[in-house]
Amino acid sequence: MQAGRRERSWTFLIIAGLTLLPGCQYLSGSLAKLPKWKSSSSSELAHGPVGPLQASSFTAVKPTAEQKAEVQLAFARTVEREGDRQGAMKLYQQIVRSAPDHHAAYHRLAVLHDQEGNHQEAARYYRKAIQRAPQNAAIYADRGYSLYLQNQWPQAEQNLRQALQLDSSLARAHNNLGLLLARSGRQEEAMREFQLAGCSEPECRANLIHALMLDQRYGEAQQQCQLVLAAHNIPADVKQRLTKLSARITAAEQKLEAPPSQSQFLWHGNGQAVAHPSHPATARQVSYERPQEIRALPPLFPAAAR
């Protein structure tokens, strides 16, 4: 925590210095220490070496709104990386007020609202970001993932493919499109997308297992997981993740078997349980939360950071 605060403090000091330096003026005490060439003729100054403190070479330069926004954006990203979403959102809001055409701030606001579960507000910021940067593949990729999380798969696929049309090397777009295709039953297409994201064969299989788990097809997922783990040529990191995934599958199966039975509920895209018509439920049961193990997550390989 202290390291994070120190990092933020240093960032703030650097930003303050960058912001204030262009408009500052040298104090008279400093000017009194100018080198001897200050008394030279103008022709000598024009043809001789230029000293670092030559007063005539300094002009007050006021940073543009765009330059200020870039400095503020760097600070906001630091705050966001430290996990302070609300603080970062306030900083991004300041940026869009002072620089209304700054697409990156709108983009980050959209992602943060997504992470908070405010998908409607996120959609508004995605639209604003795309209006200002219609050729930015990352915005389409993140909006596609947002739509995927809301179970709007056709729209999600459209945005992810648009992202790849703009930038065919964008790994997270390939990765998340692969996950969507796997959950849509198009496993061969999904494997190709995972490969284009840079996954090895075992990593592609791990992502397919992950998709089966998300669809609560735990028996198939566990069977595939054990088959991949039995291979002798899988990398250590893949084996470690698959071992953890196998444990999560087992835990999820146990939770599904525990009362109250989740077969009594219909799951909606927002993660809320609603009583099935044939099974009356109490208020306590309706509020039963969906296990973390079966919530929508990005593929395992590679990490799909936004």
Which pLDDT does position 257 carry in this prediction?
67
Q: Which residues contact 153 (CB under 8 A, 6 or more apart)?
A: 147, 180, 183, 184
| The pLDDT of residue 168 is above 90 | yes
84 or 144, greater pLDDT = 144
For 273, list phi and psi in degrees, rounded to 5: -95, 135
pTM above 0.95, yes or no: no
End-to-end CA distance of the chain: 23
Q: Which tens digits make up the pLDDT trace of 35-54?
A: 343 333 433 333 444 455 55
Among 126-130, 202-206, 284-288, the range of highest mean pLDDT: 126-130
Which pLDDT does position 72 carry in this prediction?
84
Average pLDDT, the chain: 73
106 or 262, greater pLDDT = 106
CA dist 121 and 237 (Å) reads 37
